Structure 1
Amino acid sequence: MDRQQILDLYPWGDGICFRHPGRGEVLTAHVKTVRPAAGGINDIRACEECVLEMEAVRAEAARRRGGGYVPGCLEGGG
């Protein structure tokens, strides 16, 4: 899959990238929901650059395991 095909697997909207908060609001995808012990819900969002980096890490890990890789599953970790 190419870059745009991977990005197209995610819904995008304005938000703050968890790795680049100093950039302010940019186009982001929801990648995880965290439920802190203190209560509440925090949605973790990532910019295009970070989504592609995280997908590359997942693909490499799958290659090393000898398993399959399916892009578009950052929330589920699959």
Structure 2
Amino acid sequence: MILCHRFRDPRLYQQIVDRLKPGGLLAISVLSEVGAQPGFFRAPAGELDVAFADLQALAAGEGDGQAWLLARVKGERP
């Protein structure tokens, strides 16, 4: 499991996915522009869904200036 709480660096998203083992979980939350003013540290709408589209989303939400995602690695990795 990887837990990432209120840390956003889109350059690291693929590295996060690469470090998950088959069946592994990702729990991530970031500041969001949804329901808040845009800013340097805030993710635009849908960023987590797009960045982690290769994972199976188990739960997600976005609003009130926050975005979060709980996802699992799909299937087996080579």
What is the TM-score normalised by the length of structure 1? Answer: 0.25
Max Rg structure: 1
Bigger fraction of residues in strand: 2
Normalized per residue, the structure richer in helix is: 1
Give TM-score, length-normalised by structure 2: 0.25
